């Protein structure tokens, strides 16, 4: 599709779509808890709809009246063998987290997804859950989907030092540990988003977190709850960036979830000299806020170490931000970008360089030399929603020519209203 170009004066307010990570988990917790869970502000993006459908396939009754989703929880033991293989679409969160839940069932499940899922590494989940007693294997003896997971009702607890910083892997192990007999101890490589830990507590479970060490004893019975999903800071990131780089702009984003394990982008904006105001609206345990940004004079910085998992999904749009900063921005320790929906190190460098950026891809990140004007080009999202949205924000800076985006439809994975929201800012 042809992207919108050459904008100034982006002004207005956007209600940010609901958090993808929390929406997935709300269905999963609703299913494995006893009794009814109601979910408000569920993200009806393709990925979360894959999770909803997967649990219907596993025999869970889920109703959607357009406003509230009601999950009639079966508890872990009430899940039923799916009649057919479960399709996770493009969703890494669905396939990885569900593996931990399926580890404790007394049946086998086949899981498959799209072209991108077939290339995502799964050993990171398979190894620990197999160590706990499940039997999970990939296609033709590889670690790649389609996968088959055969559960066992006698899961063993695990002591596990995580080799990668990944909330998906941690969450899968926690779901298995909730069903195991005894105490599991998981040590994170770096602290990652902690929504699963929060929701275990919210659903009446017990878990102890001390720095990077997590202790959890099983088996546990969880109880249905009311979940209200906050806005997704990872979706807000696109309009935060637009407001900071498009001349004469001021954009306000309402109801953005501000869980501290997710707010690395705020630290980066402040460090780069961005003009950002935060008005907190949530509670101490459920931080949220209204964020307002203005066009700012930005400077390059180094982004590495413990902050990386706190902004891992925002790195493509942060790279665009850095193309508009004075000086060099260096992103290190982000090799995980290579195994996202696409290789995001290569995708960001290749596509933005086509538009005139000066970005060097490295083994574990990007070196971005700013500040560069951008021009028209034919670009692709590679089927990756976050690359697609980043390229649309980049196109706003293009003064003449056209920007033609291939595979724009991927954007509906996390932000179905993206183009409508953008449109509201310049009408």
Task: List the catalytic residues.
Answer: 313
- Closest CB to ligand S3P among 74 and 192? 192
CB of residue 48 vs ligand S3P: minimum separation in angstroms?
Answer: 10
Separation CA 391–CA 408 (nearest Å):
10
What distance lies between CA 355 and its chain's CA centroid?
26
Query: Is 168 one of the annotated binding-site residues?
Result: yes
DSSP 319: H
Separation CA 24–CA 250 (nearest Å):
32
Separation CA 104–CA 118 (nearest Å):
24
CB of residue 109 vs ligand S3P: minimum separation in angstroms?
Answer: 20
- Closest CB to ligand S3P among 319 and 425? 319
Could you please report the per-residue DSSP string of 110-164? EEE--TTGGGS--HHHHHHHHHTT-EEE-GGGSSSSSEEEE--SSPPP-EEE-SS
CB of residue 22 vs ligand S3P: minimum separation in angstroms?
Answer: 8
**Tokens read off for 96:** 């990885």
| Neighbour tally for 65: CB within 10 Å | 7
CB of residue 328 vs ligand S3P: minimum separation in angstroms?
Answer: 25
Query: Is 80 one of the annotated binding-site residues?
Result: no
91 contacts 57 by C-beta, under 8 angstroms: no
Query: Is 56 one of the annotated binding-site residues?
Result: no
- Closest CB to ligand S3P among 57 and 232? 232
- Closest CB to ligand S3P among 90 and 184? 90
Separation CA 189–CA 11 (nearest Å):
41
**Where along the sequence are the contacts to ligand S3P (CB under 6 A)?**
21, 93, 166-169, 171, 193, 312-313, 336
Binding residue positions for phosphoenolpyruvate: 20, 92, 120, 168, 344, 386
User: Which amino acids are annotated as binding site, given as ranges?
Assistant: 20-21, 25, 92, 120, 166, 168, 313, 340, 344, 386
Provide the annotated binding site for 3-phosphoshikimate: 20-21, 25, 166, 168, 313, 340
């Amino acid at each position: 599709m042809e992207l919108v170009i050459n904008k100034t004066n982006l002004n207005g307010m956007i209600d940010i779509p609901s958090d993808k990570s929390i929406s997935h988990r709300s269905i999963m917790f609703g299913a494995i808890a006893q009794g009814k869970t109601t979910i408000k502000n569920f993200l009806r993006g393709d990925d979360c709809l894959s999770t909803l459908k997967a649990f219907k396939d596993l025999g869970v009754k889920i109703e959607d009246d357009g406003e509230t989703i009601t999950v009639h929880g079966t508890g872990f033991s009430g899940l039923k063998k799916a009649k057919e293989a479960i399709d996770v679409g493009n969703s890494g969160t669905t396939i990885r987290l569900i593996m931990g839940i399926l580890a404790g069932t007394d049946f086998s499940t086949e899981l498959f997804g799209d072209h991108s899922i077939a290339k995502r590494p799964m050993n990171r989940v398979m190894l620990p859950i197999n160590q706990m007693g499940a039997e999970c294997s990939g296609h033709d003896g590889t670690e790649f989907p389609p996968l088959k997971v055969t559960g066992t009702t006698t899961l063993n607890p695990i002591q596990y030092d995580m080799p990668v910083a990944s909330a998906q892997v941690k969450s899968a192990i926690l779901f298995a540990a909730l069903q195991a007999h005894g105490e599991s101890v998981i040590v994170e490589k770096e602290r990652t988003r902690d929504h699963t830990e929060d929701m275990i507590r919210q659903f009446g479970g017990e878990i102890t977190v001390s720095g990077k060490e997590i202790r959890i004893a099983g088996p546990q019975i969880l109880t249905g709850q009311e979940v209200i999903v906050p806005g997704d800071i990872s979706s807000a990131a696109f309009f935060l960036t637009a407001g900071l780089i498009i001349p004469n702009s001021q954009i306000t984003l309402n109801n953005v979830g501000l869980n501290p394990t997710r707010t690395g982008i705020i630290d980066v904006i402040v460090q780069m000299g961005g003009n950002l105001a935060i008005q907190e609206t949530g509670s101490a345990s459920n931080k949220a806020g209204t964020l307002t940004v203005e066009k700012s004079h930005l400077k390059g910085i180094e982004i590495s170490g413990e902050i990386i998992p706190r902004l891992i999904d925002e790195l493509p749009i942060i790279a665009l931000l850095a193309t508009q900063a004075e000086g060099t921005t260096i992103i290190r320790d982000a090799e995980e970008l290579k195994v996202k929906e696409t290789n995001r190190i290569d995708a960001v460098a290749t596509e933005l360089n086509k538009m005139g950026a000066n970005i060097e891809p490295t083994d574990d990140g990007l070196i971005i030399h700013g500040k560069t004007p951008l021009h028209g080009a034919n670009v692709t999202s590679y089927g990756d929603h976050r690359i697609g949205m980043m390229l649309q924000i980049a196109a706003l800076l293009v003064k003449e020519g056209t920007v033609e985006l291939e595979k724009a439809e991927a954007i509906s994975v996390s932000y179905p209203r993206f183009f409508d929201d953008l449109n509201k800012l310049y009408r």
